Amino acid sequence: MNEIDLGILIIRVAFGASLAYHGVNKIISKGGLSGTAGWFASLGMKSPALQAKLAATTEIAAGLLFAVGLVTPLAAGAMLALMVVAIVTVHAKVGYFIFLPNGGWEYCAAIAIVAVGIASTGAGSVSLDNALDLDFGRSGMAIAIGLGLASAAAQLALFYRPASVKKSVTE
């Protein structure tokens, strides 16, 4: 294993495990999936119970796949989709910086960029992709971006219904 493979391994495991834990937290936190569903409903998501299950499952599966480097472009695409939806539904209106109240989109963008970056290089020599001789080559990044953006767009189009902002009569 060379330095690049070590760096890719560290990044994959750190970001993948963190994302998977976010999914687990949606299930085991104090409010569990019903609390997550309530929060999703407050954001304007249709079918919030379904959305809570989908988000938790996708975070766990994509995070674990990314961490072990298995079908890495698909895992990266799922991560990109999750982060685009999070940015659009929650973080974009806050601003860029994560330290702002309610958290800006900085951290979500970092996760998305890491996912696409790893998809562009491949999972490295210490990965299940390598062990199984799954070489996505230059198409890895295109797969991740295409899958991620298409999935996010479909998710938002099918399920996101934010409350409309009403202007006062005096404006």
Whether residue 155 contacts residue 36, with contact meaning beta carbons closer than 8 Å, is answered with no
Whether residue 38 contacts residue 48, with contact meaning beta carbons closer than 8 Å, is answered with yes
pLDDT band at 164 (very low <50, low <70, confident <90, very high): low
Mean pLDDT for the stretch of residues 124-133: 98
pLDDT at residue 138 in the model: 87
Mean pLDDT for the stretch of residues 36-60: 96
Whether residue 143 contacts residue 125, with contact meaning beta carbons closer than 8 Å, is answered with no
Instruction: Confirm whether pTM is higher than 0.95.
Output: no
In a 13 Å sphere around the CA of 118, the CA atoms on its Cβ side amount to 38
pLDDT at residue 102 in the model: 84
Query: How does pLDDT run across 71-97, given as a tens digit for each residue?
Result: 999 999 999 999 999 999 999 999 999
pLDDT at residue 168 in the model: 44
CA distance 93 to 162: 12
Q: Is the pLDDT of residue 166 over 60?
A: no
How far apart are the two ends of the chain, measured CA to CA in Å?
64
Q: Is the pLDDT of residue 165 over 80?
A: no
Average pLDDT in the chain? 94
Q: Is the pLDDT of residue 169 over 70?
A: no
Mean pLDDT for the stretch of residues 109-131: 98
Mean pLDDT for the stretch of residues 25-37: 96
The phi, psi pair for 164, rounded to 5°, reads -75, 150
Taking each helix axis from N to C end, the angle separating 3-28 and 72-86, rounded to the nearest 10 degrees, works out to: 50
Say what percent of the chain tops pLDDT 70: 95
Helix intervals (H) in 29-138:
32-43, 48-68, 72-86, 106-121, 128-131
